[in-house]
Amino acid sequence: MNSMYSKEVMDLFKCPKNLGEMKNPDAVGEVGNPQCGDIMRIYLRINKDNNKIEDIKFQTMGCIAAISTSSMVTELAKGKTLEQAKKITNKDVAESLKGLPPIKMHCSNLAADALKKPIESYENKKEVK
Ligand code: FES
């Protein structure tokens, strides 16, 4: 079943890292893809002194690839500064998962976008203050 996916994708789908809700996050952001209807939400805990992502959680309603890519993007972002995390691309996500089927590449796009949302909202909030 689901042999079109790599072992890495299936492992993260079955046992997703960083899955769940975060209480009192420093930032939260959500994206959706209107075509497939999948939704991803990412929560961030940010160290104000060094701007590093100390903790990160995600909730995703979507396909196998949506769950695996959002879990992978949180793994890639953990411990990084916001500047570094912003540079994580859908290609990084797909490569870390040893590839995705072509029809599922848009799921990794969604995951990379989902990470940028809370970062943007955190940075915008800071500017207002
Ligand atoms: Fe749309 Fe996976 S099918 S994110």
**Stated pTM of the model:** 0.94
Q: What is the DSSP letter of 103?
A: G
Q: What are phi and psi of 127, to 5 degrees?
A: -65, -35
Is the Cβ–Cβ distance between 77 and 88 less than 8 Å? yes
Q: What is the pLDDT, as a whole number, of residue 128?
A: 65
Catalytic machinery residues: 36, 107
pLDDT in tens, 29-51: 999 999 999 999 999 999 999 99
Ligand 1 pocket residue status of 26, Cβ below 6 Å = no
Ligand 1 pocket residue status of 107, Cβ below 6 Å = yes
For residue 26, give every residue at least 6 positions away whose Cβ sits within 8 Å of its Cβ, in sequence order, or none.
44, 45, 46, 122
Q: Is residue 8 scored above 90 in pLDDT?
A: yes
3-state helix, strand, coil in the chain (%, to 5): 45, 20, 30
Mutate to test the pocket of ligand 1, among 40, 63, 64 (most ligand atoms within 8 A of CB): 63
Query: Higher confidence at residue 4 or residue 57?
Result: 57
Ligand 1 pocket residue status of 65, Cβ below 6 Å = yes
pLDDT in tens, 68-119: 999 999 999 999 999 999 999 999 999 999 999 999 999 999 999 999 999 9
Ligand 1, atom 1, residue with closest C-alpha: 36
